[in-house]
Structure 1
Amino acid sequence: MKSKIAYILFFGLIISKGNAQPKAVEYKDGNQVLSGLSIVPAKQLNDKPGVLILPAWMGIKDHEKEVAYKLAELGYQSFIADIYGVDQRPTNYSEAGQKAGYYKKNIKEYQTRIQLALDQLVKHGANPDEIVVIGYCFGGSGAVEAARTNMKVKGIVSFHGGLGRDEARTIDSIAPKVLVLHGADDPYESKEEIEKFQNEMRTAKTDWQMVYYANAVHSFTHKDAGNDNSKGAAYNEKADKRSWEAMRNFLKEVL
C-alpha cells in the first residue's frame, strides 16, 4: 500500500493524456527498488518500436514525462528509467550532482541500471529488435554508454549530454547508430573532449552524427532552465524544436 502511495506522490495523478496509457513500474537492482514509468500509446506503430528515456540528473521530472507523451503521440512506446532508486532521488542540484557524479565514476553500475530499464521496456511490450535509447544531460551520457557497450538497440540520441570517456577504457566497435545533439556554446564540454569523442566514434567505426545548435548552452531542451546563457545552462526554444525534429528523423531512419 505504501509503495502505491509513493507512486502517486512521485508521478502525480497517473491519468491518460491524449492517447497514452501511463503506468508506474517497480523493478529492482539487487535490493534497491527502482520505479520507472511505462507509457504505451493507444495506437502503436506496426513493429511496436520502443524508446528508452534516460532522465537528466534530477531524475524523472515533468520534462521526461512530456517527452514520453510526445513520443506516444507519434506511436512510440517508451519507458522512463529510474537510475537512482525510490529512496535515493535527489532533492536539490547539489545532491543531483553528487549522485550523477557517482554513476559517471562507477560507469558499470550506470550501465547496469540502463540495461535493467531497457529490460522493462521490452517486458512491457516493445519490440526488442526495434529500440532506441535517448537521454538528456546526465541521461545523454547514459545514452552514449548504451552505444559504447553495444546494448541491443538500433541507435542512441544524446541531448546536451556528457561525452567524456575514461581513456583507460578500450575502444570497441559500436553497432548502434549515434546522434549527438549539442549546444554550440555549451561550456561543460571542452573542445578537447569533443575532439576525443569524435575520434572515438571514428575508431569505433560508428555510424554517427553530431549536430550543433547556435546560441545554445547546456540544458537547451529544459524549459525550467531559464533563459540566461551566461549561467551555462538555459532553455533555447529554437534549439529545442530543431533537436526534436532531428530525433524524429533519426527514429524514422533507424526504426
Structure 2
Amino acid sequence: MEKFQKVIHERIIHHEHTGTKLESVLVLPQGTGPFPTILLIHEYTGLNEPTLEHARRLSRAGYAVFAADFYGPDNRPQNVDEANKFHRVFRDDRLLMRERAKAFFEALIAQQEVDITRIAGLGFSFGGGAVLELARCVDQGNINSESALIGAISVYGYLDTTHPAERGRIKAEVITIHVENDPVVPEKHAEMFTNEMDEAEVEWSMIRFNNVQHGFANPDNPEFDSNRAEEAWDIILKALKEWF
C-alpha cells in the first residue's frame, strides 16, 4: 500500500491542440517539488471522476499527476454513444492520437512543479493505447531535449497501431496489463504488439489477467473488480517506485 500524503492542490491547465481547447488537471502532492510526474490518460469516457481519483491516489503516493483532457470541455461525453463518437476520432487516426498525446507531454513539462527528467505515462483502455502511442513518438519533434519518458504503463489498453515503432525508437520501459479473451483488445492485437516490441528491441513486459473483464479497474464500470484492481495498482506503484 502506498504511503499516503495530503493532496494540497489541483490546478486546471488551459491549453490547446489543433484548435481544440483543452482543460487538463495537474494534481500535486505535499511539498515544493519538482516532483516525479505521471501523465495520466483517461478511458474512452473522458476526463471524469474515476480518472481524477486515480490521479489523487498517485499524488498521495508522492507524484505530481497531469490528468490529460483528450477531448476538451466542449466535447465531454454525456453518454456512451457520445464517448464512442469522440474516442473513435483518435482510435481511427493514430497519428492524431500521437500528436495530441505529445501535446500533453509538452504542456506537462512546462509546469514548474514537474521534474522533467522523471516522467512516466499511465493510461487505462483508450488511455493505455494513447500512452503507448506517446512512447512510440515522444522523442520526435521539438520537445525539450532534457525531458524523459522513463516508463509507460497500459492497463487493458489498445495494443494495435497503424505505425509500429522503429527499432530503437522507444526509450521508455513498457508495461502492459492485458485481459485474457478481451473483446476490446483481442489476442491478435496482443500478438502484433509482442512482435512489435521484440523487433523494436524495447524493454517491455506483458502481464496477463484472466477471469476478469475489460474495465475492471474503473469503479463506474459494471465489470469493476476491486480485488483485481488492487492487483493492478500494486503493479503500477511498484513499477513507478523502481523507475523513480
For residues 220 and 20 of structure 1, the distance between their equivalents in structure 2, rounded to whole angstroms, comes to: 29
From the superposition, tell whether residues 18 and 191 of structure 1 become closer, same or farther in structure 2 (CA, over 3 Å).
same
Secondary structure of the 1:49 match is strand
Structure 2, gaps ≥5 residues long: 140-147
TM-score where L is the length of structure 1: 0.85
* Equivalent residue number for residue 171 of structure 1: 166
Q: Could you tell me how far 1:58 is from its partner in structure 2? A: 1.2
Identity of aligned residues (%): 24
Q: Is structure 2 residue 227 aligned with structure 1 residue 238?
A: yes
Structure 1 runs not aligned, ≥5 long: 1-16, 227-233
Match of residue 68 from structure 1:
55
SS at match of 1:58: coil
Aligned match of 1:159 in 148, 152, 155? 155
Hey, what's the Cα distance between the residues in 2 that align with 1:190 and 1:139?
A: 17
Once the two structures are TM-superposed, the CA of residue 214 in structure 1 deviates from its matched residue by: 2.4
SS at match of 1:96: helix
Matched letter for residue 254 of structure 1: W
* Number of positions where the alignment pairs a residue of Structure 1 with one of Structure 2: 230
Question: For residues 11-160 of structure 1, what are the structure 2 equivalents within 5 Å?
Answer: 18-43=6-31, 48-124=35-111, 125-151=113-139, 152-160=148-156
- 1:99 deviates by 1.6
- 1:217 partner SS: coil
Correspondence for 1:196: 192
Q: CA RMSD in A?
A: 1.8
Inter-partner Cα distance in structure 2 for 1:48 and 1:143: 20
Aligned equivalents of 2:239, 2:182: Cα separation in 1: 23
How far has the Cα of 1:42 moved from its partner?
A: 1.2
For 1:220 and 1:198, locate their aligned partners in 2 and report how far apart those are by CA, in whole Å.
23
- How many Å separate the matches in 2 of 1:40 and 1:101? 31
Structure 1 segments, 4+ long, off by >6 Å, are: none
Q: Tell me if structure 2 keeps the 8 A contact 1:224–1:235.
A: yes
Cα offset, 1:236, TM superposition: 1.5
Larger RCO: 1 or 2 (CA < 8 Å, sep 6+): 2
Which of the residues 205, 225, 230 maps onto 1:209?
A: 205
- Give how far 1:138 is off: 0.4
2:115 is paired with a residue whose SS is coil
Q: Does structure 2 conserve the Cα–Cα contact (< 8 Å) formed by 1:183 and 1:220?
A: no
TM (norm. structure 2) is: 0.88
